[in-house]
Structure 1
């Protein structure tokens, strides 16, 4: 059952990934332009957050945080269970002591299940965000702020007869991949991807370490969560300052990334102490009456 569920989950991720590739190479909606439109005549600037930096933010940081978080939670969980067993030994209850041993053994298997479920949940929300972002990009086909300078259009705006005319009969003298790039401004992919991963980490830390008034580390945890939000905002704002996106592209990208991820984590059963995405994960490890109390920190 566990292998079957893993295969189903991985297949779902593969299908989403294939969809992402297909929309990324699809030809976007071809729009014309006005020579009087100053919003598409900005010069190209070097990327503040390039592809490599984005990969670190969107992929590497979440992996490190999730694995580290589960290791810390697992360690705290084991210490709690050991303390509980010692107390039971003092009380001399053989029956409850045996239950405590089963609960401790369960935590080892639970750790691997949590890692698997959390990573799949994270990738699902990220891939879904990327797929929706790419689909909207190709359907809208909004011109980037650097469109005119990068297009090298066969029609010149220096010609007075082109003023006041919506130009559609023109050719961009650049590579097809570059033309796809300058025609897919809305929404910002950098913004939606980074916000998706960062919001997932915010929800994950909040669920895993249970922020409330009794948690002595609540301010530290909240600060870490805020740092994730700042990272996503920084990525989005950099796309505006680099003249790669209009401000509205970034705003919608941030909303899209946050919205999709929140729906996945809060309404599709991705949150909770086991981060289960289906009956498969719930059945793979039997629960005991003390599990919820001991595995949430």
Structure 2
């Protein structure tokens, strides 16, 4: 693939991410959420209004800055594999130094994959909020609903009555709180924070190698995931979400983190192909048979050639390996039909 083709693909991916992000902003600004009614006396809506432990601005800053910073550090300083080029590639890597262009390209791709998954999650969360329209736990404290006849839920005749037509009479709160009253399900804080922290943990598992301590990487993964879990729990203790809203948000984050890491970023592609025998390093892994087995195969080949002049067929476990041909000169004719079948006995 030429560098111009790669550049065009990179620009196209950037435009797709920008379009999805713009769609999320337009959906949030232009579409009004579903107006859900309530029962007077519903205790789940009677919690007091509290300040958020993690505000919206801090949430956006953390989800954008922390994973991106970690990806930058890992991609710029991690040790690159030599690949399948052997000594020539190793010598070229030594001449090229740190291979900065390659590292920057990988950095752009990995950061783009993360941001694209975040954009998909944001669109899904906003769409669900607008369609469900669930009331927040502090609904009574913020809205102080008034019925069309001028009565309120404190009046005895409205006890246990379902109200779907009302107006908010509280003039001491901001318009932002009024707009957020019926956007409780699912929790946006929980979904975005769990996505970013869990994706970061998965990324570290695939990209980071710690030689100082085996547990260092896993400790970092644990701390990231626990921070996401802590932010999710604060949405319950701050009375901004019901517990089911937070649970749904956490599930959203987990699902999108898994889908993005496995199918979009494809973080474990090398390990998957390496396990099935189709990686470029397959040619390097020589399969050496025991001495007795080698001798018996050599004797069998000699008998077969002497008997009918037809060389024996290669055993199945030799497909994809060159050492058999080197150890059996009589089978050199098979070298031209060599294929890497990835067969493992």
Calculate the TM-score normalised by the size of structure 1. 0.80
What is the CA-CA distance between 1:11 and the residue it aligns to? Answer: 1.1
Query: Residues 4 and 251 of structure 1: is their aligned pair in 2 closer, same or farther, counting only changes over 3 Å?
Result: same
Alignment of 1:261-276 (within 5 A): 261-272=257-268
Give distance in 2, aligned partners of 1:225 and 1:112.
24
Give distance in 2, aligned partners of 1:112 and 1:101.
21
Q: Over residues 220-259 of structure 1, what are the superposed CA-to-partner deviations in whole Å (9 max), with x where a residue is unaligned?
A: 1001000010010011000100000001111110110110
Q: Over residues 174-222 of structure 1, what are the superposed CA-to-partner deviations in whole Å (9 max), with x where a residue is unaligned?
A: 66543220100000000101111111111110000268xxx66331100
CA contact (8 A) 2:262 2:268 kept: no
Residue 248 of structure 2 corresponds to 252
Number of residue equivalences: 259
CA contact (8 A) 1:207 1:273 kept: no
Compare 175-184 and 63-72 and name the one that shifted more.
Answer: 175-184
Which ranges of structure 2 fall in alignment gaps of 5 or more residues? 271-278, 285-345
Which ranges of structure 1 fall in alignment gaps of 5 or more residues? 85-94, 275-287
Higher helix share: 1
Paired residue for 1:138, among 130, 134, 141?
Answer: 130
Give distance in 1, aligned partners of 2:264 and 2:89.
32
Deviating 4+ runs (over 6 angstroms):
none
Give distance in 2, aligned partners of 1:134 and 1:100.
49
Residue 8 of structure 1 corresponds to 12
Residue 46 of structure 1 corresponds to 51
Alignment of 1:1-297 (within 5 A): 1-25=5-29, 26-73=31-78, 76-77=79-80, 97-104=87-94, 105=96, 107-155=99-147, 156-173=152-169, 177-209=176-208, 217-272=213-268
Give distance in 1, aligned partners of 2:92 and 2:9.
25
Give distance in 2, aligned partners of 1:28 and 1:97.
62
What is the CA-CA distance between 1:265 and the residue it aligns to? Answer: 1.0
Give RMSD over aligned pairs. 2.6
Q: Whose Rg is larger?
A: 2
Query: Residues 207 and 163 of structure 1: is their aligned pair in 2 closer, same or farther, counting only changes over 3 Å?
Result: same
User: The residue matched to 1:42 in structure 2 has which SS?
Assistant: coil
Give distance in 2, aligned partners of 1:119 and 1:23.
24
Calculate the TM-score normalised by the size of structure 2. 0.69
